């Protein structure tokens, strides 16, 4: 069973069929999804949802869908991803209307805390393309420290950051 997390403003819930609309909205929007391989078709967004759900079953971890408590709106994802041959990472995305409101930070702190306290991980890491300054800024606000530069399976080099346990 996929755990459910709660923060002051958010619920982090298991990906499910009701989440497809937020995946489609995000991934078919070229501006919103540019840093996440988008835009992609609605059918490919469906496969992303299925992959996120499958990650929980195949790897024991994955992303949660972020639900705003006040409106019950589904607004993005946050959690952990690991593609074949890739290092595990903390990841997140939000619909554009919800960026800049501290939501990604709040959701990330909940996921990080869960990783250390329940999964028992000894580290949480993340990485992003060099030009993704909003992600880099969030990692700095989370206390992330650059630990190495690595070449990834797609041929790009990226900085890898370790994010400390939240106390």
Pick the CATH number of 5-122 from 3.40.50.2000, 3.40.50.300, 3.40.630.30, 1.10.10.10: 3.40.630.30
pLDDT digits (tens, 9 = 90+) for 4-30: 999 999 999 999 999 999 999 999 999
Domain boundaries, the chain: 5-122
Q: Are 76 and 92 in contact (CB under 8 A)?
A: yes
Name the token pair of 78: 């946050």
Where does residue 76 fall: left (phi above 0), alpha (psi -120 to 50 degrees), or beta otherwise?
left
Half-sphere exposure of 35 (CA within 13 A, CB side): 17
pLDDT digits (tens, 9 = 90+) for 54-84: 999 999 999 999 999 999 999 999 999 999 9
pTM: predicted TM-score of the whole model, two decimal places: 0.97
C-alpha span between 164 and 35 (Å, rounded) = 24
In percent, how much of the chain has pLDDT > 70?
A: 99
């Amino acid at each position: 069973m996929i755990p459910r997390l709660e923060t002051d403003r958010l619920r982090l819930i298991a990906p499910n069929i009701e989440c497809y609309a937020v995946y489609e909205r995000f991934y078919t929007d070229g501006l919103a999804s540019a840093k996440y391989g988008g835009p992609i078709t609605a059918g490919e967004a469906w496969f992303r949802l299925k992959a996120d759900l499958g990650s929980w079953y195949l790897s024991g971890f994955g992303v949660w869908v972020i639900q705003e408590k006040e409106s019950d709106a589904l607004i993005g994802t946050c959690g952990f991803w690991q593609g074949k041959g890739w290092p595990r990472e903390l990841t997140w995305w939000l619909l554009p209307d919800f960026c800049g409101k501290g939501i990604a930070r709040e959701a990330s702190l909940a996921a990080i805390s869960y990783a250390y306290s329940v999964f028992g991980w000894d580290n949480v890491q993340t990485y992003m393309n060099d030009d993704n300054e909003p992600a880099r800024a969030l990692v700095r606000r989370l206390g992330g420290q650059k630990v190495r530069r690595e070449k990834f399976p797609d041929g790009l080099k990226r900085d890898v950051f370790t994010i400390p346990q939240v106390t």
